[in-house]
Amino acid sequence: MGHEVHVLAPGQPSKKMNQNLSIDGYGGHLAVHTQSLTKRAYASRRFARKTVLRPRMLKAVIRNLERYVTRWAKQLRLDIIEGHQELAASACISVASKLRIQSVSRFHNVWFEECLELGLLSETDNEFQFLKGLTASVIEHSGSIITPTQYMKEYFRTNFAISDRSRIVPVPPGICARQRPTLRSTQEKRTVYSGSLNELEGLSLYLEAASLAPKSLEVSICGKGSKSTIAQFEHSLGQRLHLHWFERREDYLEYLSNCQLGVVPWGWGQSRRLGFPMKLLDYVAVGLPVIASKIGSWSDLVETLGFGMLSEPNPVDWAECFRRIMEDEPLRQSMSIKAWEASNDEFSSDKAIAKVLKVYEELL
């Protein structure tokens, strides 16, 4: 919409996407390697606390990022700088203060809550208190804060001292809808999970529920995983698991459009209510009916907008939802149309963009 936008992206090549949008890459292969090592560190509570969650190391990361962002921001003469998640947001707030420009902090989830649910930290750990304090500092010093859910906004208002609560603006992510869905084949019965294979995603619930469903149901996952991980999943399911990964987004969306049902099997964890499942947007963009766990927050929209069913997060209730949607063709087709309509309305990218632009305009 005429604004010049630059994205500072670790490990990415620099390129101009269009007249007003540039990707400014830095760090090269070293940044990619560091990201890979960071993910591995989460496999062990002890190792994570000594490395990626160690306060001294996190402070060093923020300082180094701040130096780099300062040079970058000065060169571009930015009016607003936006940092995503706690480390980048903290660095950007410091840069904004030095350069006397406005700062926006965007949260996709809350780091210390995720660490708590993963069992990496307990509330008495120094690392936990440091992360919580870092979040509080970001909230206190940001010009505006963007959250993906209304639930996260209320969580921040309840758990942190905030002088001006109007600075917190919920902006659910948006997507561009594809073509209107056509009638899907009634012969194939394919359900799909899309996304990360980490333990907070609820894959075990999905697989246990699928194991109770009719054997004619093809169980599919779109995500990256090792052969050993997939073998474990198949063993727990008792049947073949179809794993797919697509480098091209168009190929991925085309695959989703040939499924009959998309799933979001998140559990009751606090972080699952705070965040927003991006996979849900991919499902509705192709008109895919959805089953999601009934956990409040974003999940309420599944039933409110009529494009799917909510289930208590247990395998028996989930399996019953599988059966009801797969056996009721008119219901499935109605949900498919409502899913696609939601991607043109509630979850449209235009609506999300308008909300973000309003946040920027109020700062300038």
Q: Would residue 213 count as lying in a domain?
A: yes
Q: How many domains does the chain have?
A: 2
pLDDT value of residue 143: 95
Whether residues 222 and 339 fall in one domain: yes
pLDDT for 180 equals 81
Residues 125 and 214 in one domain: no
- Shared domain for 202 and 334, answered yes or no, is yes
What is the pLDDT at residue 58?
94
Query: In this structure, are 155 and 198 located in the same domain?
Result: no
Does 35 fall in a domain? no
pLDDT at 266: 94
CATH number for the domain harbouring residue 123: 3.40.50.2000
Q: Range of 257's domain? A: 190-344
Handedness of CA 283, 287, 291, 294 (dihedral sign): positive
- The predicted structure's pLDDT at residue 144: 96
pLDDT of residue 114: 95
Same-domain status, 119 and 259: no
Q: Is 168 in the same domain as 239?
A: no
Q: Flag whether 77 is in a domain.
A: yes
Look-up: residue for tokens 């009934």?
A: 294
What lies within 8 Å, CB to CB, of 292 at 6+ separation is 263, 264, 265, 266, 277, 280, 299, 302, 308, 309, 310, 311
**Long-range contacts at 244-249 (CB < 8 A, ≥ 24 apart):** 244/220, 246/222
| Domain assignment present for 26 | no
- Strand partners for 291: 263, 309
Same domain, 149 and 51: yes
* Residues 164 and 206 reside in one and the same domain: no
Backbone angles phi, psi at 270, to 5 degrees: -55, -40
Residue 210 and residue 303 share a domain: yes
Is residue 21 in a domain?
no
Q: Are residues 227 and 241 in the same domain?
A: yes
Q: Kind and range of the H or E element at 8?
A: strand 5-10
For the chain, give the longest Cα–Cα distance: 62
17 domain-assigned = no
- End-to-end CA distance of the chain, in Å? 16
Cβ 218 vs Cβ 185: under 8 Å: no
Q: Are residues 297 and 353 in the same domain?
A: no
In-domain check, residue 2: no
pLDDT along the chain (364 residues), means of 10: 84 89 84 77 87 93 92 90 96 96 96 94 96 96 96 95 88 88 70 86 88 83 73 68 86 92 94 96 95 96 96 94 91 94 94 93 90
Which residue shows structure tokens 């995500």? Answer: 223
In a domain, 27, yes or no: no
pTM: 0.91
Q: Are residues 296 and 357 in the same domain?
A: no
